[in-house]
Structure 1
């Protein structure tokens, strides 16, 4: 068994988080086939996480129960927290990965970009103006909070921008797809990478 195969077999994580407001479980395998099992109680978020799995090639299970009678805030943010922690754990010491990912996604009238670095230094730049409306029971303003939670708890430097777009569904969907493809690119194992992709020797 070569080193690459060993790396792929171990790149998975399962994280659970329970608070007075939410109960979240995330299981992921980085080197999967995009298979997913998503149930958050928020239909639009289920759709976005399904797209995240499909376009990142991650196998992803997300189960969530939250105080949706209040609003979607706690549930969406806490899913982002747990997903970020799961990504961090699955990546391990990040040996052999590309580290950086960048993707533009067009969706009809919308063009979105996600550019990221599994740097260990959490930071989010969110350059997207999303109208504050509801899509089902999903509060669209939670999109930024979701990605902030992922970035902070993964140790991810993440820049997201929407160059243009008018349909709110398209804007958010393009963001999730761009993020998914950037993750797939950055997390990909390359046999040319010896150790980690950093002159410091650690990420």
Structure 2
């Protein structure tokens, strides 16, 4: 049975092994907001924790990588695994809402996430970070992480920081909005495939 003909189970586990990283990740999209995160990129651990809590997902990530070079490879590969797990968990997408949208404020910041689980990857991020790093975390990796998720999940993901001043708040509001929008998109509606074509690949 191919993934496309499999009904949604809302949970999946994936592994990725390369010469640069080793990632094991599992997610339950109809979970309780529990996160178990073990990898050496502290800021991304914090972001994935708030993603899980605010999306009510159960998320487990165990990963290692060449962070002595920089965080890029590990952040990108965790994003790839998260996207792939979301796609596998949704199977043929029968009975899900498909679309999700949330605005999330965090103090002076307001972020927006809009999702279409269309089967066609597309990614847009509109955000103006004012520093190159949040602590030791390169702000450019926020874009790389979400791009990896969108491509592997085959979703259209549109993210924006509408306004804000604190870079930590901007990034965190994006992750919270993404989690809440995804939770809406994977809600069960009791219908068929939410597409006029009759299929979401």
Per the TM superposition, whether the score is higher than 0.5 is yes
Q: Which runs of 5+ in 2 are unaligned?
A: 1-6
1:26 corresponds to:
25
In 1, Cα distance between the equivalents of 2:194 and 2:25? 27
Cα drift, residue 57 of structure 1: 0.9
1:37 corresponds to:
36
TM-score, with length taken from structure 1: 0.93
TM-score, with length taken from structure 2: 0.94
1:197 corresponds to:
194
Q: Which runs of 5+ in 1 are unaligned?
A: 1-6
TM superposition outliers: structure 1 runs of 4+ over 6 Å:
none
Is contact 1:132-1:141 (8 Å) kept? no
Deviations 1:52-83 (A, max 9, x none): 11011110001110111011100101100000
| RMSD (CA atoms) | 1.1
1:4 corresponds to:
none
2:4 corresponds to:
none
Deviations 1:166-185 (A, max 9, x none): 10000000000000000000
Deviations 1:33-68 (A, max 9, x none): 011101121111100000111011110001110111
In 2, Cα distance between the equivalents of 1:103 and 1:47? 20
Aligned residues: 194
Deviations 1:143-178 (A, max 9, x none): 001000000000010100111001000000000000
